[in-house]
Amino acid sequence: MPLHIVPVRMNELKLLCEVSRSTFYDTFSAFNKKEDMDHFLRHSFNEQILQHEMLQQCNHFFFAKDDNTISGYIKLSSAQSRHFDRPALEISRVYVIKEKLGSGLGKAFIEFSKTFAQNMNLKTLYLGVWEHNIRAIDFYKKFGFEKFDEQIFMVGNDAQTDWLMKVELD
């Protein structure tokens, strides 16, 4: 069955929490202290927080499903950014389950995001990526993303530097 990128429904909130926690943990636990990871997961990916995010009109959550199995998800945000003087679309989260890394899902998410932005008449697509996640940085560069700034991303009590990368759309 082909891959489908579909909106996350409110009745899938518990599943969204589970996928958020597991993918973030699988990706970053080896690089962070247990107490920082536990704090981050507990305070960032609980049902109350994610429900609040889902109810904001500027946020858009999508699952990638393959044979009705969730392979990952993406959160897009059209909230006003302090980085741009015009509306832009942020790829706020791109999480792929570890078994699907390298499957083409990341590419599908980027292409989906570009189309989503263009359908909203937005000309800039941007994201934040941990400065030490070289695999992801190289991946985004393949799609034309370039670093334009940095910001601090807190994982528990650990202040980490994210690169902000953007691509201008046609």
Cα separation of 34 and 38, whole Å? 6
The two counts, helices (H) then strands (E), for the chain are: 5, 7
Check which CATH number belongs to the domain holding 106 and give it: 3.40.630.30
The pLDDT assigned to 67 comes to 82
The pLDDT assigned to 170 comes to 82
The pLDDT assigned to 102 comes to 87
Contacts of residue 121, Cβ cutoff 8 Å, sequence gap at least 6: none
The pLDDT assigned to 2 comes to 80
Alpha-helical (H) ranges within the chain are 13-28, 34-44, 47-55, 105-119, 134-142
**Overall number of domains in the chain:** 1
The angle subtended at Cα 149 by Cα 50 and Cα 32, nearest 5°, is 55
- pTM comes to 0.94
Domain range enclosing 14 = 3-168
Q: What is the mean pLDDT of the chain?
A: 95
What parts of the chain have a pLDDT lower than 70? 1
Strands 124-130 and 89-96: parallel
The pLDDT assigned to 68 comes to 82
The pLDDT assigned to 1 comes to 55
The pLDDT assigned to 31 comes to 95
